[in-house]
Amino acid sequence: MTIDARTASTEDRALFTPLTIRGTTLPLRAGVSPMCMYAAVDGFASDFHLAHLGRFALGGAGLVIVEATAIEPRGRISHFDLGLWDDAHVEGMTRIASLLDAHGSVPGIQLGHAGRRASVREPWHAGAPLDETDALAGNPPWQTVGPSALPAGPNWPVPTEMSEAEIAESVAQWASAARRAAEAGFRYIELHGAHGYLLHSFLSPISNTRTDGYGGDTAGRIRYPLEVIRAIRKAIGDEIILAYRVSSVDGVLDGGLGIEDIVEFSRHANAAGVDVIDTSSGGITTDRSSDTRVRRGFGFHADFARAIKAETDAVVACVGFIVDPEQASRMIEDQDADIVLLGREMLDNPNWVHHARRALATDEFEHWDQRFGSALGPRLSTLQRLAESGETPLTRFEQYSGA
């Protein structure tokens, strides 16, 4: 791993310095966080995904991570999640990876298994567990699985406790999905180990009450995630970046994982083959009465990211209400994180990186696709001239009205 440590200046802020991991160079430190779109059919990527994700590459993001992609059908959050459980899924994913790469972004993908939080409706239908009403509409619920037969919260279905044979099969499914992701051309593969999904649920004592070798003490609870990491690293080789999203704290009233537990796990994950720890939080339960979620403020995971960065050798990525270019660059400069990932902010403004360059540096349109920059440069000159003359978009109407 090589981190470019050039001194930042007005023209060359830390946000825009490159970062090289396993031979792959992120051209800058701002990327797009994985965000589920619930637009797939039977796991297949569509033109929607191509258009949606391509905007971010054209917008200048250094890394674009495809949404949580299921390693098996039961691992989908909803019926409409992307998948890589079948070789037939690779073709559509290859189109996405190729497009991102062609426009300057490192192509990334998040692999996931929703575990006991699977089989739900889309967020605009409250994200509630599927039931017989959904079955009548052609979207039947399925039996969820987890480390223990404990539901995610009140009125949630009880998952089937996975046997050791099922755990071994699941490890193989993770590795196969990662192999397919590599075949599709993704150079950054992230494992979703947060938000109460399968990997997280094995790690947390809130959801894992097993008494065999996959439960009990810390060594037992981290066993399955570490087996997954090692199997994936073996499947993808040494040249692809492997990241792992963590919930930095469980955020529950009684028990659960704290940041010190995640720092310890991050050390183990790094030793097993993970390069990047992506910091998030919460999600181990849907029970709001016992949920003490981290207060949402600007950069609200930065302290967690800083702790992991200070105590491990991993590259650290941070998400969580990162909205302002100055804020993002200072997080890199102050050693809170090595990479900042933006989700909803990028949805609102896919050109966020280009606008950040203009805000922090002297770059106007140098890094835009020339087909855009050649048109936007003259536009900016005209806008500046009009501003200097005092003319506004409403001047003409004010003249007509005699104002």
> What DSSP state is assigned to residue 390?
T
- Per the structure block, which two tokens stand in for 182? 């590599």
- Per the structure block, which two tokens stand in for 113? 């298994």
197, 214, 224, 244: the catalytic one is 197
Active site annotation includes 244: no
Please give the distance of CA 114 from its chain centroid, rounded to a whole number: 14
Strand spans (E) along 14-115: 19-21, 24-26, 30-32, 63-70, 82-83, 106-112
- Per the structure block, which two tokens stand in for 39? 């637009």
> What DSSP state is assigned to residue 12?
S
Nearest to 31 by CA among 345, 375, 361: 345
Distance CA 180, CA 189 (A): 11
CB 105: neighbour CB atoms within 10 A? 29
Distance CA 361, CA 8 (A): 11
Distance CA 171, CA 184 (A): 20
- Per the structure block, which two tokens stand in for 92? 């559509």
Nearest to 182 by CA among 286, 77, 107: 107
- Cβ(245)–Cβ(190) below 8 Å: yes
Distance CA 171, CA 355 (A): 42
Distance CA 354, CA 345 (A): 13
Distance CA 286, CA 283 (A): 7
> What DSSP state is assigned to residue 359?
H
Backbone φ and ψ for 38, nearest 5 degrees, come out as 55, 50
Nearest to 196 by CA among 157, 151, 160, 263: 151
> What DSSP state is assigned to residue 110?
E
- Cβ(321)–Cβ(300) below 8 Å: yes
Positions annotated as catalytic residues are 197
